[in-house]
Amino acid sequence: MDIRKWSNHSSWLFRNKHMEPVMEALTQARINIFKDEVLSALKGGDSLTEDQIRILALSTDATIHIRKDGKINVNGIFDCSGLGLTDLCGLRFGKVKGRFICSYNSITNLEGFPIEGNPEVYFSKNQGISDDALYLIYEAMIKNQMDYWSALCVVKSEIDSKEWVELSKGLDTSLNNEVQKGLGMLGRFGLFK
């Protein structure tokens, strides 16, 4: 079995203190292979941060392409499950020609998730924010082809107030108050969704 696939998909099998150094070494080996084989040949790859490289290296074996607008196309499955993510660390996805799986994380922000071409996106076992709330926001993003912050405002009245506090961190810097109120009203009256 390819070491890159093994380290990515088997990390959840070994949760004891004796295996941590082994899994850490396998993870680092996968990242190094990604840097040597993929990143070096990827146009625009030099703009990626270490966190972004880690996410990409541990989430896909598919061909990736960085577009001129900075969005990343993935020609296959992207599975960032179990990486302890709260967001995508600034990665922005364009088209994903396979499933986009983001389970077993602590996602509180869907900024950068793919909305082009109606991708299959899966959330499950998310910590802190319910899967229902994430799907509600994501469906508004897809249906209306809008960014995360706008979709969040549209579905605000349907989200638990405790979840809203976590999901809306950073909202003030992304949308001014008048736009937030307007999108919220449009959502209440069913004009979006």
Residues 6+ apart with CB under 8 A from 79: 8, 59, 60, 99, 101
What's the pLDDT at 179? 53
CA pair distance 69, 170, nearest whole angstrom: 23
Q: Is the pTM of this model over 0.75?
A: yes
Write the pLDDT tens digit of every residue in 94-147: 999 999 999 999 999 999 999 998 789 999 888 889 999 999 999 999 998 999
What proportion of the chain, given as a percentage, has pLDDT over 70?
79
Residues 6+ apart with CB under 8 A from 106: 84, 85, 86, 126, 127, 128, 129
What's the pLDDT at 170? 80
Q: How confident is the model at residue 178 (pLDDT cuts 50, 70, 90)?
A: low
Mean pLDDT of 162-185: 68
**Is residue 192's pLDDT more than 90?**
no
- Kindly report the number of other CB atoms within 10 A of residue 18's CB atom: 7
